[in-house]
Amino acid sequence: MTDAPSPNHEPRAAGVPLDTVVLHYTGMPTGAEAIARLRDPAATVSAHYLIETGGRAIRLVPEHRRAWHAGAACWAGETDINSRSIGIELVNRGHAWGYHPFPDSQLESLRGLLAEVMQRHTIPPERVLGHSDVAPARKIDPGELLPWRWLADQGLAVWPVPVESPVETPGIAWFQDGLAAVGYCVPRSHTLDDATANVLTAFQRRFRPAAVTGAPDTETAARLRGLLARDSCRKPGDRR
């Protein structure tokens, strides 16, 4: 671990548990530019860690401090995501500069760091999120190339076993209720409004990356049912 302290942090909100990890990509042409920005006081952004493509992990902000990585965000009804989370940036040019697969060396470093952070703070796999999960109207990172299923296989995230149904695609109200039940902040408008389409897109980008459409369909419903079934099997107090 290399230290490159950023000045961009502050105290966490009192009484808020540290129970979440948010994964990002840097979305800049080079890693060096990303590190410089995360350490620039004028930029007012930061993260706790950054992992380079070669696998080197850099600590920017102490874990007990509130880094400025999630921005305007929401999960499970909570809006101060920065106070309750650790932010990890993965160096990747992103969609604007030439999005590319995350190298194995970078993923292995992420695996080790995630395991340590989750153990240290007793963070369950369902609270390892992408930036697009907590800010679906603004963000698309870490994107559809992050291997969430692989992370889930390591016990570091969740992945649904699709639950098929013989009926046609459920109505939009069913999707809104289901997405809210697994944590997404989604309106209950009963219509496919822009906010709901953004959340569907974020869900698909993570759990159905082969077809990110923002539209409800039977496969998206099957994967959402899988997450709902997983949650229903958890016992009260179970931190899995």
Tokens of residue 124, six digits:
């369950």
Please pick, among 89, 164, 168, 219, the residue that the annotation labels catalytic.
89
CB contact at 8 A, 124 and 239: yes
Nearest to 210 by CA among 148, 153, 152, 163: 148
CB contact at 8 A, 23 and 78: no
C-alpha span between 171 and 221 (Å, rounded): 10
Q: Is 126 a catalytic residue?
A: no
Tokens of residue 238, six digits:
């179970």
R_g of the chain, CA atoms, integer Å = 17
Q: Give CA angle at 24 (98, 197), nearest 5°.
A: 85
Annotated catalytic residues are: 89
